[in-house]
Structure 1
Amino acid sequence: MDHRHRPHFVLALEPVEGAVRAARDTVRAALEGWNRRDVHGDLELITSELVTNAIRHANSITLVLYLPDDKTVMVEVWDDNPQGPSAPILDLQAEDGRGLLLVGALSNSWGWRSTAEGKVTWAQAAAP
Protein backbone atom coordinates (compact mmCIF):
# COMPACT_ATOMS: atom_id res chain seq x y z
CA MET A 1 0.00 0.00 0.00
CA ASP A 2 1.28 3.46 -0.91
CA HIS A 3 2.17 5.40 2.26
CA ARG A 4 0.00 8.32 1.10
CA HIS A 5 -3.01 6.08 1.72
CA ARG A 6 -1.86 5.22 5.23
CA PRO A 7 -2.45 7.47 8.25
CA HIS A 8 -0.57 10.75 7.90
CA PHE A 9 -0.62 14.31 9.17
CA VAL A 10 0.76 17.56 7.73
CA LEU A 11 1.18 20.79 9.72
CA ALA A 12 2.61 24.11 8.48
CA LEU A 13 4.56 25.89 11.21
CA GLU A 14 5.83 29.42 11.66
CA PRO A 15 9.53 29.61 12.60
CA VAL A 16 8.82 30.77 16.15
CA GLU A 17 9.53 29.21 19.54
CA GLY A 18 5.90 28.10 20.01
CA ALA A 19 6.22 25.90 16.92
CA VAL A 20 8.16 23.29 18.87
CA ARG A 21 5.35 22.79 21.37
CA ALA A 22 2.74 22.77 18.59
CA ALA A 23 4.73 20.09 16.76
CA ARG A 24 5.08 17.91 19.88
CA ASP A 25 1.38 18.29 20.68
CA THR A 26 0.49 17.39 17.09
CA VAL A 27 2.65 14.26 17.17
CA ARG A 28 1.09 13.16 20.47
CA ALA A 29 -2.46 13.77 19.22
CA ALA A 30 -1.85 12.07 15.87
CA LEU A 31 -0.35 8.99 17.48
CA GLU A 32 -3.20 8.75 19.98
CA GLY A 33 -5.67 9.11 17.10
CA TRP A 34 -3.93 6.20 15.39
CA ASN A 35 -4.14 4.14 18.62
CA ARG A 36 -0.41 4.40 19.25
CA ARG A 37 1.18 5.91 22.31
CA ASP A 38 4.60 7.51 22.52
CA VAL A 39 5.09 6.01 26.00
CA HIS A 40 8.64 7.27 26.49
CA GLY A 41 8.19 10.49 24.50
CA ASP A 42 10.87 9.52 21.98
CA LEU A 43 8.91 10.67 18.93
CA GLU A 44 8.02 13.93 20.61
CA LEU A 45 11.69 14.55 21.41
CA ILE A 46 12.79 13.64 17.89
CA THR A 47 10.19 16.04 16.50
CA SER A 48 11.24 18.79 18.92
CA GLU A 49 14.86 18.55 17.85
CA LEU A 50 14.11 18.51 14.11
CA VAL A 51 11.71 21.46 14.38
CA THR A 52 14.13 23.40 16.60
CA ASN A 53 16.85 23.06 13.95
CA ALA A 54 14.47 24.23 11.24
CA ILE A 55 13.41 27.26 13.31
CA ARG A 56 17.04 28.30 13.69
CA HIS A 57 17.88 28.00 10.00
CA ALA A 58 14.72 28.41 7.88
CA ASN A 59 11.73 30.66 7.22
CA SER A 60 9.20 28.06 6.10
CA ILE A 61 8.59 24.80 7.99
CA THR A 62 6.20 21.90 7.47
CA LEU A 63 5.90 18.88 9.76
CA VAL A 64 4.85 15.60 8.13
CA LEU A 65 4.08 12.54 10.23
CA TYR A 66 3.03 9.21 8.75
CA LEU A 67 2.94 5.47 9.23
CA PRO A 68 4.60 3.84 6.20
CA ASP A 69 3.81 0.41 7.64
CA ASP A 70 2.48 -1.15 10.84
CA LYS A 71 5.85 -1.04 12.60
CA THR A 72 7.27 2.35 11.63
CA VAL A 73 6.61 6.05 12.19
CA MET A 74 8.23 8.65 9.94
CA VAL A 75 8.74 12.23 11.08
CA GLU A 76 9.74 14.68 8.36
CA VAL A 77 10.47 18.38 8.72
CA TRP A 78 10.44 20.22 5.39
CA ASP A 79 12.02 23.67 5.28
CA ASP A 80 13.20 26.26 2.77
CA ASN A 81 16.90 26.17 3.68
CA PRO A 82 18.82 24.04 1.15
CA GLN A 83 21.80 23.56 3.47
CA GLY A 84 21.78 20.17 5.17
CA PRO A 85 22.35 19.68 8.87
CA SER A 86 26.01 19.59 9.84
CA ALA A 87 27.60 16.95 12.02
CA PRO A 88 27.53 18.16 15.60
CA ILE A 89 30.76 18.94 17.39
CA LEU A 90 30.49 17.62 20.90
CA ASP A 91 31.20 20.35 23.44
CA LEU A 92 30.39 19.15 26.94
CA GLN A 93 30.20 22.75 28.17
CA ALA A 94 27.74 23.92 25.50
CA GLU A 95 24.05 24.31 26.34
CA ASP A 96 22.95 23.22 22.88
CA GLY A 97 24.25 21.31 19.88
CA ARG A 98 23.19 17.82 20.91
CA GLY A 99 19.86 17.65 19.09
CA LEU A 100 20.97 15.53 16.15
CA LEU A 101 22.85 13.23 18.49
CA LEU A 102 19.56 12.66 20.33
CA VAL A 103 17.71 12.12 17.06
CA GLY A 104 20.30 9.53 16.05
CA ALA A 105 20.11 7.78 19.41
CA LEU A 106 16.30 7.64 19.55
CA SER A 107 15.51 6.78 15.93
CA ASN A 108 16.12 3.68 13.84
CA SER A 109 17.64 5.95 11.20
CA TRP A 110 17.63 9.58 10.19
CA GLY A 111 18.92 11.76 7.40
CA TRP A 112 18.08 14.54 5.00
CA ARG A 113 17.51 15.09 1.31
CA SER A 114 17.36 18.13 -0.95
CA THR A 115 14.10 19.34 -2.44
CA ALA A 116 13.34 21.98 -5.05
CA GLU A 117 12.34 24.35 -2.23
CA GLY A 118 15.00 23.45 0.36
CA LYS A 119 15.35 20.17 2.22
CA VAL A 120 13.63 17.48 4.25
CA THR A 121 15.18 16.24 7.49
CA TRP A 122 13.62 12.93 8.51
CA ALA A 123 13.72 10.31 11.21
CA GLN A 124 12.31 6.80 11.20
CA ALA A 125 11.35 5.19 14.49
CA ALA A 126 9.55 2.10 15.70
CA ALA A 127 5.79 2.64 15.89
CA PRO A 128 4.80 2.65 19.53
Structure 2
Amino acid sequence: MEAAPASAGHFRALTLFAESTDTVRVARDMVRSCLQDWGLGHVVEDVRLVVSELVGNVVHHAVPDSCLARPGGDRRVDVLVKMWPNWLFIGVVDEDSSPPDLPAGEFLSPELAGDFAEALLPDRGRGLLIAQRLADAVWWSPEELGGKTVWCRFDLDRVADERPV
Protein backbone atom coordinates (compact mmCIF):
# COMPACT_ATOMS: atom_id res chain seq x y z
CA MET A 1 0.00 0.00 0.00
CA GLU A 2 1.27 3.44 -0.88
CA ALA A 3 1.48 6.04 1.87
CA ALA A 4 -0.86 8.99 1.44
CA PRO A 5 0.86 12.36 1.07
CA ALA A 6 1.03 14.48 4.21
CA SER A 7 -1.24 17.02 2.52
CA ALA A 8 -4.04 14.42 2.47
CA GLY A 9 -4.66 14.76 6.22
CA HIS A 10 -5.93 17.73 8.19
CA PHE A 11 -6.27 18.45 11.91
CA ARG A 12 -7.81 21.21 13.99
CA ALA A 13 -8.37 21.49 17.71
CA LEU A 14 -10.21 23.98 19.85
CA THR A 15 -10.27 24.33 23.62
CA LEU A 16 -13.42 25.75 25.16
CA PHE A 17 -14.85 25.99 28.64
CA ALA A 18 -18.21 24.49 29.56
CA GLU A 19 -19.28 27.50 31.64
CA SER A 20 -19.17 29.89 28.67
CA THR A 21 -22.63 30.77 27.35
CA ASP A 22 -21.62 30.18 23.72
CA THR A 23 -19.53 26.99 24.03
CA VAL A 24 -21.76 24.84 21.82
CA ARG A 25 -22.19 27.55 19.16
CA VAL A 26 -18.44 28.21 18.97
CA ALA A 27 -17.74 24.48 18.58
CA ARG A 28 -20.33 24.20 15.76
CA ASP A 29 -18.94 27.28 14.01
CA MET A 30 -15.35 26.01 14.19
CA VAL A 31 -16.36 22.66 12.73
CA ARG A 32 -18.32 24.30 9.90
CA SER A 33 -15.40 26.55 9.06
CA CYS A 34 -12.78 23.82 8.92
CA LEU A 35 -15.00 21.39 6.97
CA GLN A 36 -15.74 24.07 4.39
CA ASP A 37 -12.00 24.89 4.18
CA TRP A 38 -11.30 21.19 3.56
CA GLY A 39 -13.95 20.89 0.83
CA LEU A 40 -16.28 18.78 2.99
CA GLY A 41 -19.36 20.98 2.76
CA HIS A 42 -21.51 17.91 2.06
CA VAL A 43 -21.11 16.65 5.66
CA VAL A 44 -21.27 19.98 7.50
CA GLU A 45 -24.84 19.76 8.80
CA ASP A 46 -24.58 16.19 10.11
CA VAL A 47 -21.22 16.88 11.76
CA ARG A 48 -22.41 20.16 13.30
CA LEU A 49 -25.38 18.36 14.85
CA VAL A 50 -23.13 15.62 16.27
CA VAL A 51 -20.73 18.23 17.70
CA SER A 52 -23.68 20.09 19.26
CA GLU A 53 -24.84 16.92 20.97
CA LEU A 54 -21.40 15.86 22.21
CA VAL A 55 -20.37 19.28 23.48
CA GLY A 56 -23.85 19.79 24.96
CA ASN A 57 -23.40 16.55 26.90
CA VAL A 58 -20.20 17.90 28.43
CA VAL A 59 -21.81 21.24 29.28
CA HIS A 60 -24.83 19.62 30.95
CA HIS A 61 -23.49 16.36 32.40
CA ALA A 62 -19.70 16.18 32.82
CA VAL A 63 -18.34 16.30 36.35
CA PRO A 64 -14.52 16.61 36.42
CA ASP A 65 -12.48 13.90 38.10
CA SER A 66 -11.12 15.09 41.44
CA CYS A 67 -7.57 14.93 40.06
CA LEU A 68 -8.53 17.38 37.29
CA ALA A 69 -10.94 19.66 39.15
CA ARG A 70 -9.74 23.06 40.27
CA PRO A 71 -11.85 24.73 42.95
CA GLY A 72 -13.86 27.41 41.16
CA GLY A 73 -12.22 26.49 37.83
CA ASP A 74 -13.92 26.13 34.49
CA ARG A 75 -14.48 22.72 32.94
CA ARG A 76 -12.32 22.25 29.87
CA VAL A 77 -13.77 20.91 26.61
CA ASP A 78 -11.49 20.07 23.67
CA VAL A 79 -12.97 19.58 20.21
CA LEU A 80 -10.77 17.64 17.78
CA VAL A 81 -11.41 17.43 14.04
CA LYS A 82 -9.21 15.06 12.03
CA MET A 83 -9.55 14.26 8.36
CA TRP A 84 -7.56 11.49 6.75
CA PRO A 85 -8.24 10.71 3.10
CA ASN A 86 -11.51 8.77 3.45
CA TRP A 87 -12.49 9.43 7.06
CA LEU A 88 -13.46 12.32 9.26
CA PHE A 89 -12.97 11.89 13.01
CA ILE A 90 -14.59 14.12 15.61
CA GLY A 91 -13.39 13.89 19.20
CA VAL A 92 -14.81 15.71 22.20
CA VAL A 93 -12.58 15.54 25.29
CA ASP A 94 -13.87 16.27 28.78
CA GLU A 95 -12.54 15.93 32.32
CA ASP A 96 -15.05 13.28 33.49
CA SER A 97 -13.83 9.66 33.35
CA SER A 98 -17.37 8.23 33.65
CA PRO A 99 -18.26 6.23 30.54
CA PRO A 100 -20.91 7.81 28.32
CA ASP A 101 -24.35 6.19 28.05
CA LEU A 102 -23.93 4.83 24.53
CA PRO A 103 -27.28 3.38 23.41
CA ALA A 104 -27.15 -0.39 22.98
CA GLY A 105 -29.08 -0.41 19.72
CA GLU A 106 -32.58 -0.74 18.38
CA PHE A 107 -35.11 -2.73 20.40
CA LEU A 108 -37.98 -2.15 18.00
CA SER A 109 -37.95 -1.00 14.41
CA PRO A 110 -39.30 2.58 14.03
CA GLU A 111 -41.28 1.30 11.01
CA LEU A 112 -43.15 -1.12 13.28
CA ALA A 113 -43.80 1.58 15.88
CA GLY A 114 -45.83 3.71 13.45
CA ASP A 115 -47.30 6.77 15.13
CA PHE A 116 -45.65 5.88 18.44
CA ALA A 117 -42.01 6.19 17.27
CA GLU A 118 -41.34 9.11 19.66
CA ALA A 119 -42.30 6.90 22.60
CA LEU A 120 -39.37 4.62 21.75
CA LEU A 121 -36.78 7.30 22.47
CA PRO A 122 -34.76 6.54 25.59
CA ASP A 123 -34.98 8.80 28.64
CA ARG A 124 -31.21 9.27 28.56
CA GLY A 125 -28.62 9.18 25.80
CA ARG A 126 -30.70 10.80 23.05
CA GLY A 127 -27.76 12.96 21.97
CA LEU A 128 -25.55 9.90 21.63
CA LEU A 129 -28.36 8.11 19.78
CA ILE A 130 -28.40 10.99 17.29
CA ALA A 131 -24.62 10.74 16.95
CA GLN A 132 -24.90 6.99 16.32
CA ARG A 133 -27.51 7.54 13.63
CA LEU A 134 -25.50 10.19 11.77
CA ALA A 135 -21.93 8.88 12.18
CA ASP A 136 -20.59 5.58 10.89
CA ALA A 137 -19.06 4.73 14.28
CA VAL A 138 -19.21 6.13 17.83
CA TRP A 139 -16.95 5.05 20.69
CA TRP A 140 -15.09 6.47 23.66
CA SER A 141 -11.62 6.15 25.13
CA PRO A 142 -10.24 7.09 28.55
CA GLU A 143 -7.62 9.82 28.73
CA GLU A 144 -4.31 8.88 30.35
CA LEU A 145 -4.49 11.48 33.14
CA GLY A 146 -8.27 11.33 33.64
CA GLY A 147 -11.29 12.28 31.61
CA LYS A 148 -12.38 10.74 28.33
CA THR A 149 -12.80 11.35 24.62
CA VAL A 150 -16.00 10.50 22.76
CA TRP A 151 -15.18 9.80 19.11
CA CYS A 152 -17.29 9.75 15.96
CA ARG A 153 -16.14 8.58 12.53
CA PHE A 154 -17.73 9.64 9.26
CA ASP A 155 -16.83 7.55 6.20
CA LEU A 156 -16.40 10.20 3.53
CA ASP A 157 -16.61 7.74 0.62
CA ARG A 158 -20.04 6.55 1.79
CA VAL A 159 -21.30 10.08 2.42
CA ALA A 160 -20.11 11.20 -1.03
CA ASP A 161 -21.89 8.23 -2.65
CA GLU A 162 -25.18 9.24 -0.97
CA ARG A 163 -25.08 12.83 -2.23
CA PRO A 164 -27.77 13.72 -4.77
CA VAL A 165 -26.41 14.32 -8.27
Identify the structure with the greater helix proportion: 2
**Is TM > 0.5 for Structure 1 vs Structure 2?**
yes
Per residue, is there more strand in 1 or in 2? 1
Distance 1:53 1:38 in 2: 25
Out of 130, 133, 137, the residue aligned to residue 109 of structure 1 is 137
Preserved CA contact (<8 Å) 1:38 1:44: no
Q: Deviations over 1:24-56 (max 9, x none)?
A: 111110011111104561011111111111112
1:82 corresponds to which residue? 97
Q: Percent identity?
A: 26
SS at match of 1:99: helix
Structure 1's unaligned 5+ residue stretches are: none
1:23-38 matched pairs, under 5 angstroms: 23-38=27-42
Structure 2 unaligned runs (5+)?
A: 64-74, 105-117, 161-165
Per-residue CA distance 1:7-37 (angstroms, 9 max, x = gap): 1100001103411111111111001111110
Q: Which residue of 2 aligns with 1:121?
A: 150
Q: Aligned pair count?
A: 126
TM-score norm. by structure 1 comes to: 0.84
Structure 2 counterparts to residues 1-128 of structure 1, below 5 A: 6-15=9-18, 16-39=20-43, 41-56=45-60, 57-58=62-63, 59-67=75-83, 69-87=84-102, 92=119, 97-115=125-143, 116-127=145-156
